[in-house]
Each structure stands twice: as C-alpha cells, then as structure tokens.
Structure 1
Amino acid sequence: MSTAGARAARAASVGVAETGADADRAPVVTGLGVLSPGGVGVEALWRVCRTGEGEFREVTHFDVSRTGTRIAGFVPAEPGAPVPGEAARLPYLLHRAVTAALADARERTGVREVPTALVLATTDSGGCPGTEVWRAWSEGGRSHPNAGWEPYGAPVVDGPVVQVGNASAAGATASGVAADLLRDGVVERVVVCGVDTVTETAFHGLASLRTLSPRGCRPFSTRRAGIRISECGAAMVLERATAATAPGYARLRGWGSSNEASQAARPDYEGVTKAVRRALADARTEPGLLDYVNAHAAGTRHGDIAELRALDEVLGDRLPKVPVVSTKAALGHCQGAAGTVEAIMTVLTLARGDVLPTLGLEDRDPRWDHLNLGDRAPEAPPSVGMTISCGLGGSNVAVVFSRD
C-alpha cells in the first residue's frame, strides 16, 4: 500500500477533524500565481469567475473547421509574450505563474532558503517536455530550444521535479503529491504548477470524442453538451507548517484518488465517491464538516450527474446546504491545469469567506433545484472546502482544504 493509501486507511477509522500534532502536519498554502482567461493574477481570476468576462475567441493557430467548434479560452495577450502556437508559450505560462507564486510566498513568509520541489501538472507530452525545460532553466542552462522566457529570473528548485499527466485530474493529483512530499519530510516547500495551452492534438482529440461544445461549458444546465478548452498557468506554493511559516491562505488537509470508470471518456459515481471518501479520511474530517465544494462539473451530460450523485452518497441530507460550484462556466476547461486553478479558487473562497456562484444557471437542470449551486448565500462563511477533478480513463481525485 502507498504512503497516502496507508494514511487514508488509518484515518478512516478516526473520521474526525485533525487536531494537535496531526493538524500541525497539514501543509500551508503560502503563495498563489495564475494566468487565466481572465488575465494575470488572482484578482483577475476572481473577477472572471464572478463575471464570466474572459478571453474567449476563435482558434487561429491551427485548422478547426472540421471540429464543430472554433472557440477556446486564452490568456490575454501581453507585449513580448509568445503567442498561442509558439513552442515557448507553455513554458512562458509555467514560469510566469511559478515566479508570481514564489514572490507571493516570500512576501508572506519572508525569504527562507529551504529545499524546494516542483510538481508539474500538464497534459502536454509533445512540444514542451516540462520537467526537462524547468530543470534546464532553473540551473541556468540556455541550450534548450524552448528557453525564450528566461528574462523572468529563475527561482531555486533544489528538490525533486515531478511531472503528473493523468489528464484533467493532473492538477489535483499534483496537489496531493506535493502534500505527501511535505508530510513525509522530503522537502520543506513545494511549488505545484498546472499548465496547458490550446494545442492541435488536444483540441482534435477531444473533438473526436465528441466532448467539445460550441456553446461552451454549461455546468448543471439542461443544455449542457460538453466542454470548451482553455489555456492556463496556475501555481500554488505549499510549505511545511513550522514556526517559521506565517499564516497562509489555507491548509491542505488531505487528498484521495481512485481509478475507476466503465467508459474512458466519462466518470462513474462510484469512482468519484471513493475519491471523496478517501480525501475526507486522509484529512481526518467528517463529511458533516465539509461546507464548500468546487466541483469538476465540466458541463457534460453524464459527468455532472455522476459527480452530484457521488456527493449525495457521501453527504446525504446535508448536500443541499453545501454550496457546490463549478468555475468552468467562467474559465472553460483548463485541461491539466484545471485541478490547480480550481484548487486556487477553493483556497481563495475559504480565505475570503465569499462564495461565488456557478455562472449560467438561467436554465439549470430542474432535478437540482434543491441544491445550492453557489446561487444562495451559505449559512456561514465556509471553513472546509473540497475540490474534485475527473480525468479521462477514470481518474478521480479530491483534495480537502481548511481555512486554518
């Protein structure tokens, strides 16, 4: 059994929130950095999730005429930045996000020279081998062909560099891997970065699965018919909870995963249920303490049903009181970065005590009228939140955060 599995099994017999020494081991989120279709920075991310006014436009750097949809989400153009389709686009987003997150962490905690790892989540397996690029850049190398983004200055990464690639669940998995590195004492600090661009391979692959929708992501809607993909670079700094660490945004309490589905392109509720239960067990948190969920909810016909059924299995009669929000209605589906940017939205929600609604609920599916999809104010600001991600092939991951 893996370290995470053993920890989850041990915690399953407890079923209560962490206290004492166990609570002190929960990693602290100290820094955030993001480039999304809303723009650069967490305020731009928060704004687009509130208003839906992001950068969605026609794909022009490859032919999409036979796919049935032409629109994708893009990080707004910046002077001198590599444009979509250029090889340096992905590492540019990666390093801008990581640099911003580390700067945010330094501002909150002070400059501390501690062993730091990188866990990189991406579905890109071709034009930019992310870990190779990162290592060459962080060590000052200039020989790599995708090194056009070096002017931003290299943060020091002297711990493991791990790349995670389990499709749309990669970003959430990366957060869990980072938590295990910290809880097991491998390093003192981990940068989790989810990054993906709009590539021809991904776009046409998803189109061949009939997953793309010309109307965009419409979670929980009667007219939901699939996803709209977006590019994104999102980074989160996690640190061991020590006396030297100032209070951060939130704590990562636990995570859980499963690999179970009867059809490769859609999740089953049984697999999602297992991931949710395992995450709560690893966090030593009773289901009754959960008061916010940032759902995967990509707006597919079967996926939204499976996820809400899984939450009903775990939360039962309490589910209508828990805000269940999808930010994909505002951001689109950020692919391998989805789990990271949605974790950041979960952390910001807990830190700010404000729940943003799922956008586009004008034609919500009536079978969910009894649920709070972020369109009703919660009884109190949430203190324990969960983000859920589901990837192609049956990969389901849930991560639990708390406000303190």
Structure 2
Amino acid sequence: MSGPAVAVTGVGVLSPGGAGADALWRACAGGGAAFRPVEHFDVSRTGAHLAGFVPEEATGPGAPPPGHPARLPCLLHRATGDAVADAARRTGTAVRDPAVRTALVLGTTDNGGFPSAADWRAWREGRTTVPGAAWEPYAPPVWDGPVVQVGNASAAGATALGVGADLLRDGVADRVVVCGVDTVTETAFQGLASLRTLSPAGCRPFAARRSGIRISECAAALVLERAADAPLAHLRGWGSSNEASQAARPDPEGVAKAVRRALADAGTDPAEIGYVNAHAAGTRHGDAAELEALGEVLGERLPFVPVVSSKAALGHCQGAAGTVEAIVTVLTLHRGEVLATLGPAERDPRWDHLDFGGKQPDRPPSAALTLSCGLGGSNVAVVFGRDA
C-alpha cells in the first residue's frame, strides 16, 4: 500500500548489548554482547550451547530470569515504555493523551504466555485481572487503539513495522508503538537445532566459513507518528513477498521482489539507497541469496553501498530481529555514521568487491534499507530516510 512517510519519534530497546540505544550502538560497534550458556533447559544434544541474553543490570532488579513465563512481557513492557517516553521527550507531547489513539503492533515468534489482543483489551478496560497471568504486572496501560500481533518467523519484526505504518496511513491510529520481542525458548532452540541452523561458532555473516546462527533474546520498540518535529528518521515505505524454493532458504527473486516493492511504496529510487542493514544471519545459502537479490536491484552501485549485518554483534534476535535492526538503521541515518559488520576476517572471496561497512562513505546516507527473511519464504524490506 503506497502512502506518505511516517515519522520515527522514539525508540526503546533491551538487547544483549544492554538497555537503550547507546548500549545497542556500542555493541554493534564492537563493545560485545552478553552471550552465555543456556541453563534453563537442556541443550546437550544440540551442538550449540550459547545464546544472547539481555544483561541482568539492564533488566533491573527483580526481573524474571530466562525461562520464567513473565520474562517476555517484562522485556516488552520495558522496551515499549522506554520508546513512548523517548518519543514524549523528543516531541514534547504527553505519554498519554486521550486525543491520541495509540496502537500496539507486536512481532514475535513466541505465543507461549503471550497476551492476546482480547486479553490486553480486557485488562485495559478493567473487565478482568486474569488471575495468575504472568504478564499482568508488566502490561502498560497506554494502548487505546488496536493491538495486532504478527508472527511470520524471523520477518515478524519488520512486518510489524509495515503493519504499523499502514495503520497510520489508513487513519486507524494516531500513534503506533511497534515492538519486536522474543526470548530464548526451548521450542525455538531445539527446533532450529533440528533444522541444523544453529552454529556453535555463532553468526558470522559474509564469512567464508559461516555455518549458521546463534539466537538471542531482545525487545526493540519504535514509535511511529504521522508527523513530528525533528524525528529520528522517516519510515518511507515497505514491501514483502512470500516466495522460496525451500522452506529454510531465502530465494533471491523473492527477496528482490520485497525490495522492489518497498522502494516503490517509498517512492525512492534505488540510486538513493546509501546503506543496507541486511538480514545476513551467517547461513550458507541465506547470505548468498540476499546479496544476489541486492545485486539485481542495485546493480553496479552495490559495491559502493555499505551492506551491514547487525547479527554478528547481537546474534539472531528472532522475531525482534527486524525491529532491532531497524533501530540500528534509524540510528545510522540520525548519527550519520556507518558501523562495520563485526567479524569476517576471512570473508567469502566471492564478495571481496563489496563493502560490509569497513569504510565511511563520502557523505552520510540519506536513505537506507533494512531486510528480514523468515522461514517459509517470508521476505520483508523497509525503507527509511532522513527526510520524508
């Protein structure tokens, strides 16, 4: 759906790098993330024993530990609350305004213990306390618009951004909080291990010896509004496709379709794109398919456009990957600085001519693209710009 750009007015994030945008930036710049052994379920037969966790000092005292059913809603509440507060500071508006309909769009791969839209609505209206519901103490009473949940695997967070933008364009809400959130669950970990997707070496995007992913927990939220003074950036448009030749492998043509649709929706020429935050999870086929797709769309310009993977620093944040990587993209536009992909000392020689963020461009990018690919062929691209 084509329409006007929307403003990104606030962000909130709890990642393996810590709490807040500055901690996220430091982790992606090389400050390190909190990868540690998984201890809340048995991983002895998986071949991979580490995952990324939000550090204890970031969640605050008394936060539910990994494996606790309240862990996900606690992270969700913290990230969305921080994002709304950041937007209020930036725009000078109230956190709660009866005249502003605020919607919530959630991107996640986890339904266990997750509140449904009906649960959120009943809680907000005081019709039930849902005795024993682990999420109840963490539910922020700010949503007076619709609550939408998106669950298309690793593309969920990026899809949620597109859904949020369309809610604003259609006039369904005046403000949308988009949050990608996931924790490290036994179901996801063992499922990915059975697909031979997990790598003991972690995510090594674009490397010659890349062999898979390392999953992480994360909650990353962005506030979208129709118009605002001095926003962080603008979400210009988005596009998606559902196309793959094999369920666990992105298809180059499917990814290229999503990118072309996003550019068309954004009214942005491929020549304007000065930065790409790629899905680039470090899988053998996924990285190659994505770069092939970018080559189809960007053509001869591709070697001159920084293509960066945040997963080398953060791990694969599952349903939150699209939103946390969107925050990195927004910060890149806002700060005018391109961070390099951490790692690959031994990059795949096929891509020696490409720039994985190792050098600063002659001028800061004014438009950027972020990509997400999910199991089953779900491909999503989102275009951001410094200006609308």
TM over 0.5: yes
Q: What residue in structure 1 maps to residue 369 of structure 2?
A: 386
Q: What residue in structure 1 maps to residue 64 of structure 2?
A: 82
What's the secondary structure of 1:362's corresponding residue?
Answer: coil
Deviation at 1:266, TM superposition (A): 1.1
Q: Does 1:145 align with 2:132?
A: yes
Instruction: Write the distance in 1 (CA, Å) between the matches of 2:321 and 2:25.
Output: 15
Amino acid at match of 2:290: E
Q: How does 1:23-42 map to 2 (within 5 A)?
A: 25-42=4-21
Could you tell me the TM-score, scaled by structure 1's length? 0.91
Deviation at 1:147, TM superposition (A): 4.0
Instruction: Write the distance in 2 (CA, Å) between the matches of 1:292 and 1:138.
Output: 40
Deviation at 1:134, TM superposition (A): 3.9
Q: What residue in structure 1 maps to residue 87 of structure 2?
A: 105
Contact kept? 1:91, 1:130, Cα under 8 Å: no
Q: What residue in structure 2 maps to residue 157 of structure 1?
A: 143
How many percent identity over aligned positions?
A: 72
Contact kept? 1:273, 1:313, Cα under 8 Å: yes
Instruction: Write the distance in 2 (CA, Å) between the matches of 1:70 and 1:396.
Output: 28
Q: What residue in structure 1 maps to residue 104 of structure 2?
A: 118
Runs of 5+ consecutive residues of structure 1 not aligned to the other structure: 8-21
Q: What residue in structure 1 maps to residue 319 of structure 2?
A: 336
Q: Does 1:364 align with 2:343?
A: no
Q: Does 1:60 align with 2:39?
A: yes
Contact kept? 1:252, 1:400, Cα under 8 Å: yes
Q: How does 1:83-232 map to 2 (within 5 A)?
A: 83-109=65-91, 110-111=93-94, 112=97, 113-129=99-115, 131-132=117-118, 134-139=120-125, 142-147=129-134, 150=137, 154-232=140-218
Contact kept? 1:52, 1:331, Cα under 8 Å: no
Deviation at 1:331, TM superposition (A): 0.4
Instruction: Write the distance in 2 (CA, Å) between the matches of 1:119 and 1:148.
Output: 17
Instruction: Write the distance in 2 (CA, Å) between the matches of 1:297 and 1:324.
Output: 9
Contact kept? 1:128, 1:146, Cα under 8 Å: no
Deviation at 1:51, TM superposition (A): 1.1
Please identify, of 299-308 and 118-127, the stretch whose mean Cα deviation from structure 2 is larger: 118-127
Deviation at 1:142, TM superposition (A): 3.2
Q: What residue in structure 2 maps to residue 15 of structure 1?
A: none
Contact kept? 2:158, 2:381, Cα under 8 Å: yes
Instruction: Write the distance in 1 (CA, Å) between the matches of 2:5 and 2:50.
Output: 40
What's the secondary structure of 2:345's corresponding residue?
Answer: helix
Amino acid at match of 1:226: G
Instruction: Write the distance in 2 (CA, Å) between the matches of 1:133 and 1:226.
Output: 37
Amino acid at match of 1:178: G
Deviation at 1:146, TM superposition (A): 3.3
Q: What residue in structure 1 maps to residue 385 of structure 2?
A: 402
Instruction: Write the distance in 1 (CA, Å) between the matches of 2:266 and 2:144.
Output: 28
Deviation at 1:132, TM superposition (A): 5.0
Q: Deviations over 1:286-309 (max 9, x none)?
A: 100111100000000000000000
CA distance 1:153–1:203, shift in 2 (3 Å): closer
Deviation at 1:149, TM superposition (A): 6.3
What's the secondary structure of 2:284's corresponding residue?
Answer: coil
Instruction: Write the distance in 2 (CA, Å) between the matches of 1:37 and 1:89.
Output: 14
Instruction: Write the distance in 2 (CA, Å) between the matches of 1:41 and 1:144.
Output: 32
Runs of 5+ consecutive residues of structure 2 not aligned to the other structure: none
Contact kept? 2:69, 2:134, Cα under 8 Å: no
Contact kept? 2:275, 2:365, Cα under 8 Å: yes
Amino acid at match of 2:144: D
Q: Deviations over 1:78-113 (max 9, x none)?
A: 320000000000000000000000000111112144
Contact kept? 1:92, 1:149, Cα under 8 Å: no
Amino acid at match of 1:145: G
Q: CA RMSD in A?
A: 1.4
Q: Deviations over 1:130-185 (max 9, x none)?
A: 545544554455325334663x6724211111000000000000000011111111
Amino acid at match of 2:299: G
CA distance 1:234–1:184, shift in 2 (3 Å): same
Give 4+ residue runs of structure 1 displaced > 6 Å after superposition: none
Contact kept? 1:133, 1:147, Cα under 8 Å: no
Instruction: Write the distance in 2 (CA, Å) between the matches of 1:94 and 1:365.
Output: 37
Q: Deviations over 1:203-250 (max 9, x none)?
A: 000000000000000000011000000000110000012xxx222100
What's the secondary structure of 1:61's corresponding residue?
Answer: coil
Q: How does 1:255-274 map to 2 (within 5 A)?
A: 255-274=238-257
Contact kept? 1:99, 1:155, Cα under 8 Å: no
Contact kept? 2:279, 2:372, Cα under 8 Å: yes
- Say how many residue pairs are matched: 379
Deviation at 1:273, TM superposition (A): 0.3
Contact kept? 2:7, 2:235, Cα under 8 Å: yes
Instruction: Write the distance in 2 (CA, Å) between the matches of 1:239 and 1:67.
Output: 43
Deviation at 1:369, TM superposition (A): 1.0
CA distance 1:336–1:148, shift in 2 (3 Å): closer
Could you tell me the TM-score, scaled by structure 2's length? 0.95
Q: Deviations over 1:44-103 (max 9, x none)?
A: 100101115111000000000000110000000132000000000000000000000000
Instruction: Write the distance in 2 (CA, Å) between the matches of 1:232 and 1:203.
Output: 15
**Corresponding residue to 1:300 among 253, 272, 283:** 283
Instruction: Write the distance in 1 (CA, Å) between the matches of 2:84 and 2:211.
Output: 38
